Chains A and B, each alone.
Chain A
Amino acid sequence: GAGVSQSPSNKVTEKGKDVELRCDPISGHTALYWYRQSLGQGLEFLIYFQGNSAPDKSGLPSDRFSAERTGGSVSTLTIQRTQQEDSAVYLCASSLEGGGRYTDTQYFGPGTRLTVL
């Protein structure tokens, strides 16, 4: 079946602009995660959705970052007033159950490479 998809694959924006990144999880997966991969910080957790609610937003680096999930499926990560330090690859993952399950495997999308000029 189809895997996790993300769009756009690349995004170049100017400092101060807003951007939206989209994630389509694997059909039927209830849990969705956003991670960020940058040269200086490695791979870090941003936010976790269970259905449409986000029980853990602890990884969002500032209030310029927000995310929503609708219909228990598609998720959008929005970054307002982008800064150069926001440049990174944003990865989305989904899993069947989430919430801490011993067999729960997270499957990753190809990522969106964001460059802020």
Chain B
Amino acid sequence: KQEVTQIPAALSVPEGENLVLNCSFTDSAIYNLQWFRQDPGKGLTSLLLIQSSQREQTSGRLNASLDKSSGRSTLYIAASQPGDSATYLCATNDYKLSFGAGTTVTVRA
């Protein structure tokens, strides 16, 4: 069974600082890995999808890396803003998603 771990569980940074969110997984037999954002009381918003053959994916201020052999992915958010405050979840996809517990980010103005 896939086990997905996210560290840290919570993170608080001042506005403008770069964010680094870590995700690790135990089974490398995945098709892709997705990063999601969840705001309080809301559903999940897909941020980035990295295919298993890719090393990196970028969208605006977001950059995600994937090292399948070591079972790790990292989400970088550049120049954080208060609007980036949310819970960030990573999920591996072997056709169904297996989620980590998330990292709750607070960006202080």
Contact = CB atoms under 8 A, between A and B. Distances in A.
A and B physically associate = yes
Interface of A: 4, 33, 35, 42-45, 48, 56, 59, 91, 93, 98-111
A104 B36 CA distance: 14
B49 interface: yes
Given A42-B99, A110-B42, A105 B49 contact: yes
Given A91-B43, A108-B43, A110-B43, A102 B51 contact: yes
Contacts of A99: 95
B32 A103 contact: yes
Nearest to B50: A102
A110 B42 CA distance: 6
B44 A91 contact: yes
A79 to B, nearest CB: 19
Interface of B: 31-32, 34, 36, 42-46, 49, 51-53, 89, 91, 93-102
Contacts of A104: 31-32, 93, 95
Interface of B (DSSP majority class): strand
A42 B94 CA distance: 18
Given A91-B44, A107-B46, A33 B97 contact: yes
Contacts of A110: 42-43
Given A103-B32, A104-B32, 19 more contacts: A42-B100, A43-B89, A43-B91, A45-B97, A45-B98, A56-B95, A56-B96, A59-B96, A99-B95, A100-B31, A102-B32, A104-B93, A104-B95, A105-B34, A105-B46, A107-B46, A108-B43, A110-B43, A111-B43
Contact of B46 (A33, A56, A59, A106): A106
29 contacts: A33-B96, A35-B97, A42-B100, A43-B97, A43-B99, A45-B97, A45-B98, A48-B95, A59-B96, A91-B43, A93-B44, A93-B97, A98-B95, A100-B31, A100-B94, A100-B95, A101-B31, A102-B51, A102-B53, A103-B51, A104-B31, A105-B34, A105-B46, A106-B46, A106-B93, A108-B36, A108-B45, A108-B46, A111-B42
